[in-house]
Amino acid sequence: MTLRTRREVLASLSVATAALPLLGFTSVPAVEKAPKAIFPPRLKPGDTVGLICPAGAAFSKEVVQITKESIEALGLKVKMGKHVFDRFGYLAGTDQARAEDVNSMFADKNVQGILAIHGGWGCARLLPLLDYKTIQKNPKPLIGYSDITALLLAINAKTGLITFHGPVGSATWNKFSVDSFRQVLFDGNPVLFENPKELGDNLTLTKDRITTITPGTARGKLVGGNLTVLTGIIGSDYLPNWKDAILFLEDTNEAVYRVDRMLTQLKLAGVLDQVKGVVFGKCSDCEPGKGYGSLTLEEVLEQHLQPLKVPVYSGAMIGHITHKFTVPVGAEAEIDATAGTIKLLGSAVA
């Protein structure tokens, strides 16, 4: 190809590229406008909570019974999902059956809140089957963590409904977790999420410590959940807008190289470049591998999150742990990475 021909081709390409927006094409997909935030009604004694299994199967009737008794001890009534005890391999029934329970609980006027009994795997399979219009017209708290992250994020993205990364029904309902649950969902307080500072008989704090990766404060919409589940739906339209968000993450039983891989995926997908702050909760059983020269989780977090130059800290009570916060997905909050706190800027419920 001659120099002149090459120039002619480049000139033609430039004209064609400039015309793409006029033809309805852009090189970068347009960011979908986020729906207006919907605050679900707060829970109150006597309300009915629907129990569902949207992911893994309920292999133990005793666990389901303990869940029922725990919710009743909170002063709430319980309605079991029609398909709670269904089983389809490792799933709690077919995709259609599990989606039916989610949709039915939102449509039921006699149900004021929805709680997943446990996680596992399978929620992402339900996302195309959910009735988002019905969900949007019947706002109520949806609560869970781990695999439930897919439902929390998708429903918030599609409807604007504030959802809640908190205990599943089979979790340990201890005082710490119950207090956080009540303050957010019953009292509607602008909660300050702060790790416990119990020394016991030690000279200094030895557990549930905060690690400041980049100091500072930042405000934004809380978005996040389980790292594995979140990265599993990257590229779909079931994720909220990341721009100026506060990203929170947690995980369990992941090799450090896999955490490294998933954070790399968030970076390459452009997520990390958009957020105003990051809170990494607990990564339970995420120790370095036995191989030579393994990185530690601390090193991986620093390598990925320090270059963002936004406030970042790790160690928050978010994750596969017995004592956990109830964090509203989609609510406005301020983080203080130096103090290791998250403060809601208003009530997460109506």
Question: Which residue from 249, 218, 230, 198 is spatially nearest to 343, judged by alpha carbons?
Answer: 218
Distance CA 43, CA 235 (A): 34
- The residue with tokens 């109830």 is 326
> Catalytic one among 83, 165, 304, 320?
320
Q: Identify whether 250 is a catalytic site residue.
A: yes
Which structure tokens are listed for 349?
A: 């419920």
Out of 250, 254, 304, 314, pick the active-site residue.
250
CA-only gyration radius of the chain, Å: 22
Residue 299: Cβ within 10 Å count: 13
Q: Determine how β-strand 163-165 pairs with β-strand 327-329.
A: antiparallel
User: What tokens appear for 37 in the block?
Assistant: 């935030």
Question: Is residue 32 among the annotated active site residues?
Answer: no
Candidates 146, 170, 177, 314; catalytic one? 146
Q: In what order do the strands lie in the sheet with 48-52?
A: 77-80, 48-52, 113-116, 142-144, 163-165, 327-329
Identify the bridge partners of residue 163 per DSSP, sorted by sequence position: 329
Annotated active-site residue 177? The verdict is no
Catalytic sites, residue numbers: 146, 250, 320
